């Protein structure tokens, strides 16, 4: 297993739709193991392949939940169906989200409270479950990465202005920027 650098917003692979996985082989299983290792060293709860520069439809997660779903898993070529996203303003104390590709920042965002996720594991076996609460938020966040969206792309106008200012102040939004978990300081202070 190997830890990979995490791409920062502005890297093209983060902003385009990822391609479906076509082969469930040892190369895929190695990539998945590397993704778990990278997520763990980065203290993340999810990591999508585009976040390590790989434009494939894969994400891993490591998050306790109340839905009877294993706390660690992988989704290959997933689909996602959600309940309606509430129209109210997000609560900055209860609904702030962060992202390893927008390191150290967090902004409030409304998400659906429920999601049905289906796809395949690393061996090609079908996986399907329902997620609620923060686990549903995690599934939506990681799935968005596979469609070339970051959570900052979904912010309301007020929060979007704040995010754009923060990204500009960091010098992000251009290709070639990464950070290395386990080497660079943890941007979220874990």
Percent of the chain residues past pLDDT 70, beyond the cut: 100
Identify the band that residue 150 occupies on the pLDDT scale cut at 50, 70 and 90.
very high
Average pLDDT over residues 101-119: 97
Instruction: For residues 114 and 80, give the distance between their C-alpha atoms in angstroms, rounded to a whole number.
Output: 10
pLDDT on residue 135: 98
pTM above 0.95, yes or no: yes
Structure token digits, residue 1: 């297993």
Given a contact cutoff of 8 angstroms between Cβ atoms, the answer to whether 12 and 42 are in contact is no
Other residues' Cβ atoms within 10 Å of the Cβ of residue 22? 9
pLDDT tens digits, residue range 69-105?
Answer: 999 999 999 999 999 999 899 999 999 999 999 999 9
138 known member of a binding site:
no
Q: Which domain holds residue 135?
A: 6-82+106-169
Complete DSSP assignment for 131-169: EEHHHHHHHHHHHHHHTT--GGGG--HHHHHHHHHHHHH
Average pLDDT over residues 12-19: 98
Q: Is residue 188 part of a domain?
A: no
4 known member of a binding site:
no
pLDDT tens digits, residue range 23-68?
Answer: 999 999 999 999 999 999 999 999 999 999 999 999 999 999 999 9
Q: Is residue 41 part of a domain?
A: yes
CATH number, position 125: 3.90.45.10
Q: Is residue 149 part of a domain?
A: yes
Identify the band that residue 149 occupies on the pLDDT scale cut at 50, 70 and 90.
very high
Q: Is residue 75 part of a domain?
A: yes
**Side-by-side strand order, sheet with 46-48:** 46-48, 58-62, 72-82, 114-120, 126-132
145 known member of a binding site:
yes
Residues 6 or more apart whose Cβ sits within 8 Å of residue 49: 18, 31, 35, 55, 56, 57, 58, 59, 146
pLDDT on residue 3: 98
Q: Is residue 1 part of a domain?
A: no
Q: Report the domain count for the chain.
A: 1
Q: Is residue 95 part of a domain?
A: no
Pair type for strands 58-62 and 102-108: unpaired
Q: Is residue 161 part of a domain?
A: yes
Instruction: For residues 58 and 75, give the distance between their C-alpha atoms in angstroms, rounded to a whole number.
Output: 6
**Residues involved in catalysis:** 142
Q: Is residue 182 part of a domain?
A: no
Average pLDDT over residues 99-120: 97
């Amino acid at each position: 297993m190997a830890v990979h650098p995490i791409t920062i917003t502005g890297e093209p692979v983060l902003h385009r739709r990822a391609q479906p996985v076509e082969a469930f082989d040892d190369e895929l299983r190695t990539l998945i193991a590397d993704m778990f290792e990278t997520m763990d060293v980065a203290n993340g709860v999810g990591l999508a392949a585009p976040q390590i520069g790989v434009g494939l439809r894969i994400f891993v997660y490591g998050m306790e939940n109340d839905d009877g779903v294993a706390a660690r898993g992988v989704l290959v070529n997933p689909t996602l169906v959600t309940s309606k996203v509430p129209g109210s303003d997000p609560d900055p104390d209860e609904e702030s989200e962060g992202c390893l590709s927008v390191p150290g920042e967090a902004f409030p965002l409304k998400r659906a409270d429920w999601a049905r996720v289906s796809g395949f594991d690393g061996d090609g076996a079908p996986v399907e479950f329902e997620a609620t609460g923060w686990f549903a938020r995690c599934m939506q966040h990681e799935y968005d990465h596979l469609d070339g969206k970051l959570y900052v792309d979904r912010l309301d106008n007020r929060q979007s202005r704040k995010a754009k200012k923060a990204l500009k102040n960091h010098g992000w939004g251009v290709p070639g920027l990464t950070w290395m978990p386990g080497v660079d300081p943890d941007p979220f202070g874990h």
